């Protein structure tokens, strides 16, 4: 059966990197029998400009009807002064919550070829392979009440609510433990249970879930320490599971261990295997339109799509090994460039991956 893929390039470098990922999908369709059809739609600032809303009805309907969604990035200087409800980021957050994509997988893997591109010493990061499992539809991102109110003395006060119910914690916990069962069987749950009741409950529920996974070792870590440990001794981690806000921050931090945030893909999954796949970096408006962005994170997101939503394990591995080959050939976009390598642009990198698929 033909699988439907909604392609949402978004803003900034989103359009450039998604174009390369689409080249890879086209090649898989043409030469390797991948049975897909793709349809594009607007999201984020581009959608606001064209339709007055960052997540138009049409785009949401397309994403809902699809088997998987490929997303570039949203946001840019141009839309920063818009009302928060109309900002490009709301397009992305709307997709996550409307599609029920609660489980966000953010692998941080160091390609050996890039050990020198990391800002950390090669011995600290070589062999790094962490899976961050970030809860994606709850927490302070979506909690109510929220807003900015005027106090009696006329001063304004901003407020948001960090909130998690037990079932939300439990299901992300199960995601993390299921993944750990296929890896090194260690889960580190990150919270701030020494200060926040919400995460005190988080810790309690994680401990309860762990009883169903006797083979997996569960540890707990406060988020401040986790940030420190990630740059001090990152290889101690196998699977990290945490809430939406802490996961946002820690995954950027983990990304840098691998040399560049331009290398890291992500999958956001619902309870049934449907997913949205996107690079974890943003729209990078400072380099948009220059043809220098790294398309690898988006191409690796396609590999995750093949693995988690399209059940095409072999093709997923084919894409990943094509990326490996291209790195072996010495091709580097600016973000992962080190002297002696061959500096390439976005399209050249994408073409090289397509050629390496064979």
Among 248, 253, 338, 357, contact with Mg ion (rule: CB under 5 A): 248
Q: Are 240 and 130 in contact (CB under 8 A)?
A: yes
Q: Is the CB of 200 or the CB of 248 nearer to Mg ion?
A: 248
Active site residue 235: no
| Cβ-based neighbour number of residue 72 at 10 Å | 30
Active site residue 192: yes
Using alpha carbons only, give the angle 215, 220, 222 rounded to the nearest 5 degrees. 160
Among 92, 105, 306, 310, contact with ligand IPM (rule: CB under 6 A): 92
Among 12, 91, 279, 282, contact with ligand IPM (rule: CB under 6 A): 282
By CB under 5 A, the residues from 74 to 93 that bind Mg ion are: none
- The yes or no reply on residue 348 touching ligand IPM (CB under 6 A) is no
Per-residue interface string for the shown chain with ligand IPM, residues 52-91, x marking contact by CB under 6 A: -----------------------x-------------x--
**Cα 265 to chain center, whole Å?**
5
Spot the catalytic one: 224, 286, 290, 328.
224
Residues near ligand IPM (CB under 6 A), total? 7
Q: Are 60 and 100 in contact (CB under 8 A)?
A: no
Active site residue 248: yes
Active site residue 139: no
Nearest distance from C-beta of residue 251 to ligand IPM, angstroms: 6
Spot the catalytic one: 111, 141, 164, 213.
141
Active site residue 49: no
Among 129, 248, 270, 348, contact with ligand IPM (rule: CB under 6 A): 248
Residues 6+ apart with CB under 8 A from 50: 42, 56
Q: Are 199 and 193 in contact (CB under 8 A)?
A: yes
In the bound state, the residue with its beta carbon closest to Mg ion is: 248
| Closest of 245, 131, 272, 239 to residue 191, by C-alpha | 245
In the bound state, the residue with its beta carbon closest to ligand IPM is: 89
- The binding site for ligand IPM (CB under 6 A) comprises 75, 89, 92-93, 248, 280, 282
- The binding site for Mg ion (CB under 5 A) comprises 248
Residues recognised as catalytic: 141, 192, 224, 248, 252
């Amino acid at each position: 059966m033909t699988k439907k893929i909604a392609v949402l390039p978004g803003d900034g470098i989103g359009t450039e990197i998604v174009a390369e990922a689409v080249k890879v999908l086209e090649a898989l369709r043409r030469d390797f029998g991948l049975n897909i059809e793709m349809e594009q739609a607007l999201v984020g600032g581009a959608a606001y400009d064209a339709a007055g809303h960052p997540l138009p009805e049409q785009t949401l309907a397309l994403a809902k009807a699809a088997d998987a969604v490929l997303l570039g990035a949203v946001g840019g200087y141009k839309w920063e002064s818009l009302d928060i409800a109309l900002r490009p980021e709301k397009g992305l957050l709307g997709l996550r919550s409307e599609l029920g994509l609660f489980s966000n997988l953010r692998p941080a893997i160091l390609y050996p070829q890039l050990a020198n591109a990391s800002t950390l010493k090669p011995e600290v990061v070589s062999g790094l392979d962490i899976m961050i499992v970030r809860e994606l539809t709850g927490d302070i991102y979506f909690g109510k009440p929220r807003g900015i109110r005027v106090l009696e003395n006329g001063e304004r006060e901003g407020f948001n609510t960090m909130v998690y119910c037990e079932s939300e914690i439990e299901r992300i916990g199960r995601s993390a433990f299921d993944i750990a069962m296929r890896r090194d069987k260690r889960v580190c749950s990150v919270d701030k249970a020494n200060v926040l009741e919400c995460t005190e409950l988080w810790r309690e529920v994680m401990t309860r879930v762990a009883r169903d996974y006797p083979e997996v070792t569960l540890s707990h870590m406060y988020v401040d320490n986790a940030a420190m440990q990630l740059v001090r001794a990152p290889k101690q981690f196998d699977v990290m599971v945490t809430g939406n806000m802490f996961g946002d921050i820690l995954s950027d931090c983990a990304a840098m261990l691998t040399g560049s945030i331009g290398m890291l893909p992500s999958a956001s999954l619902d309870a049934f295997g449907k997913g949205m796949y996107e690079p974890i970096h943003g729209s990078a408006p400072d380099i948009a339109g220059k043809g220098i962005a790294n398309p690898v994170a988006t191409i690796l997101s396609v590999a995750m799509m093949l693995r988690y939503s399209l059940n095409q394990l072999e093709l997923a591995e084919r894409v990943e090994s094509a990326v490996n080959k291209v790195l072996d050939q010495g091709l580097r976009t600016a973000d992962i460039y080190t002297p002696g390598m061959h500096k390439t642009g976005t399209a050249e990198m994408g073409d090289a991956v397509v050629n390496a698929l064979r």
